[in-house]
C-alpha cells in the first residue's frame, strides 16, 4: 500500500467515525445491534428479497440471517411474507417503522456531513467533490463484480 493510500484510508475511517458517531446520540437506534442495522440498511438498498439471497448479499449463513430477522420482526422493523412463486421461500422487507429508523439515522448523518462540507472553503469543496466522484466510480465498478472478486476473504457476521 502506498503512503497516499494509507493516508486516504485513515482519513476515510475518521470521517466515517464522525458520520456514524451521532447514530447513538438520540436513541434512534432503539437498541439495534450492528447485525440488525446491516440488514435494515441492505433491505433499504435492495428492497424485498428472499432470506437466502439476503444472506448471500451479506456474506453470512442463512441461519445467521434468520436469527437476526427474527429479532427485527419482533421489533416490527421487517415483515416476512411467502414468495408467491415458491411458498418454501420467505421474502423479507422493511416495514414503515424500519424505514423510519433508517431515515432518522440517514438524516443525522446528512446533517453531520453537511456541517463538515460547509466548513471547507470552495477550492477544498471542489477537490473533495472530484475525489469522491472518482471513489464512487470505483465503488460502483467493484460492487458490480461477483462478491468473491471484491472481498479479501474476511468472513463477516450479519
CATH number at residue 112: 1.10.10.10
Give the pLDDT band of residue 155 (cuts 50, 70, 90): very low
Q: How many domains does the chain have?
A: 1
Residue 156 inside a domain? The answer is no
Residue 157 inside a domain? The answer is no
Phi, psi (deg, nearest 5) at residue 132: -70, -30
d(CA 62, CA 58): 10
d(CA 103, CA 119): 24
Q: What is the pLDDT of residues 29-85, one digit of tens each?
A: 668 888 999 999 999 999 999 999 999 989 999 999 999 999 999 999 999 998 888
Please give the pLDDT value at position 31.
82
Q: For residue 121, is it left (φ>0), alpha (ψ between -120 and 50) or beta?
A: beta
Domain of residue 111: give its range. Answer: 12-134
Bigger pLDDT: 105 vs 69: 69
Bigger pLDDT: 91 vs 144: 91
Amino acid at each position: 500500500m502506498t503512503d497516499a493510500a494509507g493516508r486516504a484510508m485513515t482519513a476515510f475511517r475518521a470521517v466515517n467515525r464522525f458520520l456514524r458517531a451521532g447514530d447513538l446520540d438520540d436513541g434512534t437506534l432503539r437498541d439495534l445491534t450492528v447485525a440488525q442495522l446491516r440488514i435494515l440498511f441492505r433491505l433499504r438498498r435492495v428492497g424485498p428479497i428472499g432470506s437466502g439471497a439476503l444472506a448471500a448479499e451479506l456474506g453470512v449463513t442463512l441461519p445467521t440471517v434468520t436469527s437476526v430477522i427474527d429479532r427485527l420482526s419482533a421489533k416490527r422493523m421487517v415483515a416476512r411474507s411467502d414468495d408467491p412463486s415458491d411458498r418454501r421461500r420467505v421474502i423479507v422487507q422493511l416495514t414503515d417503522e424500519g424505514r423510519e429508523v433508517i431515515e432518522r439515522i440517514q438524516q443525522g448523518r446528512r446533517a453531520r456531513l453537511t456541517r463538515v462540507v460547509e466548513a471547507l472553503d470552495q477550492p477544498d469543496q471542489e477537490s473533495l467533490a472530484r475525489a469522491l466522484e472518482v471513489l464512487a466510480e470505483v465503488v460502483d465498478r467493484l460492487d458490480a463484480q461477483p462478491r468473491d472478486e471484491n472481498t479479501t476473504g474476511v468472513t463477516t457476521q450479519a
